[in-house]
Amino acid sequence: MKWLSYFAIGALFAFGLGISGMTQPAKVLAFLDLFGAWDPALLCVMGAAVTVNFIGFRLANQRAHPLLAARFELPTRRDLDGALVAGAMLFGIGWGLAGFCPGPALVALASGSLDVLLFVLAMFAGFLFKDFAFASPAGGHVAHRS
Amino acid sequence: MLEPGSIAAAALGGGMIGLAAALLMGLNGRVLGVSGMAAGIITPAAPLRERLERGVFLLGVLAGGLLLALVLPQALPGAYSHDRVLLISAGLLVGFGTRLGSGCTSGHGVCGIARLSPRSLVATAIFMASGIVTVYVVRHVLGGAL
C-alpha cells in the first residue's frame, strides 16, 4: 500500500504538472517574461497548488502520525543563510535559461526529446557536484514528530 | 477539450499538484520536493529504504509523463530545441542551485509556502526574481541572441 501510494502520488503530481502548463518551457518562459508579453496563467498553478496543500497539510497534521508511516518528517530550519540565497539565485538563472525546473523536466522526458534528456542529465550532474564537492556539515535538518 | 496552460487548466493542474503534496504528507509524512527526492536516490547518505521510496515516487512521475504523452500529448514540449551548451549550463545550474538552496519549485514553492516556512518564502521570492531577471536579460537586453 505504501509503495503504491508513492507511485500513484508521483503520477498524480506529473499529471497536474502537465495539465497546468508547467511542462511546456515556452509557457514557463512567458510567465517569467514579466517585462515582455507576460502570460500570468502559471500564477494560478502556484495559487491553486499552495491553497490545496495549505488546507491538506493542516488536515494531515491534526493526526498523530501519517496514515502509512510512523512519523511526519518536516524540515525544521528557520534561519536564512548564504547557501539558501545563493542556491535559489542560481536555480532561478537556470530556470530562466531553459524554462524547466526539476519536476517538469522529469515529466517531459516522456516527450522523447534528446534536449530534455540532456537537461535532466546535467541537472543530476549538478546534484552530484553539490553533494560531493560541498558536503553539508550538519547533514539533514529534519524533525521526527511521532 | 482542456487546453494545457489555459487559466482553467492551470488552476486544475495546480490543484492536482497541491493534492499530491498533501497526500504525500498525510499518507507518508514527507515533503514533496522533487530536487531533494531525485538527488536523494543517488546520494548514498540516505538509508536504502528511503532511497527506494523516493525511487518509486519518481517512477510514478515518469509513468505520469508517459500517460500524458498518450492522452494529452500537447502538454509535453513538442520539438523542444535549445542551444545545447545553454541547455546543459541551465541543467547544471538548476541541479546545483536546488541542492545548495535546499529545494525547488515544489519543495519550497508549493510545500514550504503552505507550511509558512520563512526559508521557503525567501527562497521562492529569490528564484522567481532571478528567473524573471534572467528572462529579461536574455530577451530584452541580449535580444534573444542566446
Please tell me the predicted confidence (pLDDT) of residue A143.
Answer: 57
User: How far is A93 from chain B, CA to nearest CA, in Å?
Assistant: 5
- B135, closest residue in chain A (CA to CA): A96
Coil/strand/helix, residue A73: strand
Q: Which residues of chain B have pLDDT under 50?
A: none
**What is the amino acid identity at position B67?**
L
Q: How far, in Å, CA of A18 to CA of A22, rounded? A: 6
Chain A, chain B: beta-carbon pairs less than 8 Å apart: 504
Do the domain assignments include residue B1? no
User: How far is B121 from chain A, CA to nearest CA, in Å?
Assistant: 10
Tally the residues of chain B: 146
| Domain of B113, in residue numbers | 7-141
* Grid cell of A68 as nine digits: 502509512
Do the domain assignments include residue B93? yes
Please tell me the predicted confidence (pLDDT) of residue A50.
Answer: 97
Do the domain assignments include residue B146? no
Contact A1, B2 (CB under 8 A): no
Q: Taking 90 as the threshold, does the pLDDT of residue A107 lie above it? A: yes
Domain count, chain B: 1
| CB nearest to A90's CB, from B12, B97, B122 | B97
Contact A44/B10, CB-based, under 8 Å?
A: yes
Do the domain assignments include residue B101? yes
Coil/strand/helix, residue B77: coil
Q: Taking 70 as the threshold, does the pLDDT of residue A146 lie above it? A: no
Do the domain assignments include residue B80? yes
User: How far is A143 from chain B, CA to nearest CA, in Å?
Assistant: 11
Give me the interface pTM, i.e. the ipTM: 0.94
Q: A134 versus A130: which is more confidently predicted?
A: A130
| CB nearest to A66's CB, from B18, B27, B68 | B27
| CB nearest to A60's CB, from B25, B60, B127 | B25
Do the domain assignments include residue B2? no
Model confidence at A76, pLDDT cuts 50, 70, 90, reads confident
Contact A10/B63, CB-based, under 8 Å?
A: yes
Do the domain assignments include residue B133? yes
The half-sphere exposure of A104 on its side-chain side, counting CA atoms within 13 A, is: 29
Contacts of B21 in chain A (CB under 8 A): 13, 49, 52-53, 56-57
* Grid cell of A128 as nine digits: 552530484
Q: Give the phi and the psi of residue B116 in degrees, each rounded to 5.
A: 60, 40
Q: How far, in Å, CA of B38 to CA of A118, rounded? A: 16
Do the domain assignments include residue B18? yes
